[in-house]
Structure 1
Amino acid sequence: MARILIVDDSAISRIKLKDIFELDCHEIVGMAEDGLEGVEKFKALKPDLVTLDVTMPKMKGLDCLKEIMTLDQNANVVMISALGKGDTILEALNAGALNYITKPFEEKQVLKTIREALEEL
């Protein structure tokens, strides 16, 4: 299946996402705790898909998304955040995100969104 990079400052969210993706036979190639680390791991690992939190230390998720899209305009990124505001969602989608999942998330919701994003690969 897909090689996925998880970028989220919440250890609980990272572990929950990892478990969900592995149950669906995806490979977790890396995890990052902040946007700066996420960009570095994106460069090094070249994942098929990135899940990216919006609110993180060192580099915000939207800035990380823009940096990733600068590095690879065909990058596949799904934003995941507790911030379900319309303007944040719109900004992420306009910056290149394929979709947006709001926390707290459920396994079925995450898998549906990821499968839809992967169909575009």
Structure 2
Amino acid sequence: MGNRILIVDDAAFMRMMIKDILTKNGYEVVAEAADGQQAVELFKEHAPDLVTMDITMPEMDGITALKEIKTIKSDAKVIMCSAMGQQAMVIDAIQAGAKDFIVKPFQADRVLEAISKAIG
């Protein structure tokens, strides 16, 4: 149906913020991960339609996790989440296959716009 989402962020507060925006707008959050390694495992397990991926995380960063997910499913849809001042990493992420990126702190309309654009 195009609305099952995996949220990946090492900050529980950020995951909660995104989850709140998504569930209020009819999206189903199938799983949440606190680092890139967990994200890859959960992606294999749940096969979500879309992943929101933090860039800076312990264990495995978001760009590495993005590349791993792309090897599992080449057309996986991933939106990167970054703090201000991470432009170089955002460019790396887009080159690695991210569909879009959203900047923290999240604005609901921007999150929803990025997701609907990525899912199509």
Q: TM-score range by the shorter chain?
A: over 0.9
Partner of 1:27: 28
The alignment yields a C-alpha RMSD, in angstroms, of: 1.0
* Moved >3 Å (runs of 4+): none
Q: Secondary structure at the match of 1:50?
A: strand
**Conservation of the 8 A alpha-carbon contact between 2:10 and 2:35:** yes
Within 1, Cα distance between the matches of 2:81 and 2:113?
A: 13
**Scaled by the length of structure 2, what TM-score is found?**
0.95
Over the matched positions of the two proteins, sequence identity in percent amounts to 46
Q: Map of 1:104-119 to 2, 5 A cutoff? A: 104-119=105-120
| 1:66-100 per-position Cα deviation (integer Å, ceiling 9, x unaligned) | 10011110100000011443321111011010001
Consecutive unaligned residues in structure 1, runs of 5 or more: none
Structure 2 counterpart of 1:75, one-letter code: A
Paired residue secondary structure (1:4):
strand
TM-score (norm 1): 0.94
The answer to whether residue 104 in structure 2 is matched with residue 103 in structure 1 is: yes
Separation in 1 of the partners of 2:55 and 2:46? 21
Query: Is the contact made by 1:54 and 1:83 (CA closer than 8 Å) also made in structure 2?
Result: no
The answer to whether the 8 Å contact 1:4/1:48 transfers is: yes
Q: Is the 8 A contact 1:65 1:77 kept in 2?
A: yes
> What is the rounded CA distance, in whole Å, between the counterparts of 2:84 and 2:61 in structure 1?
13
Q: Which moved more, 1:35-44 or 1:80-89?
A: 80-89
Q: Contact conserved, 2:18 with 2:106, CA < 8 A, in 1?
A: no
Q: Given residue 74 of structure 1, which amino acid in structure 2 is its aligned partner? A: D
Unpaired runs of at least 5, structure 2: none
Contact 1:84 1:102 in 2 (8 A): no
Please name the residue that 1:56 is paired with: 57
Quick one: distance in 2 between partners of 1:64 and 1:82? Answer: 18
After superposition, the C-alpha distances for 1:30-78 in whole angstroms (9 at most, x for unaligned) are 0000000000000000000000000001001110001001111010000
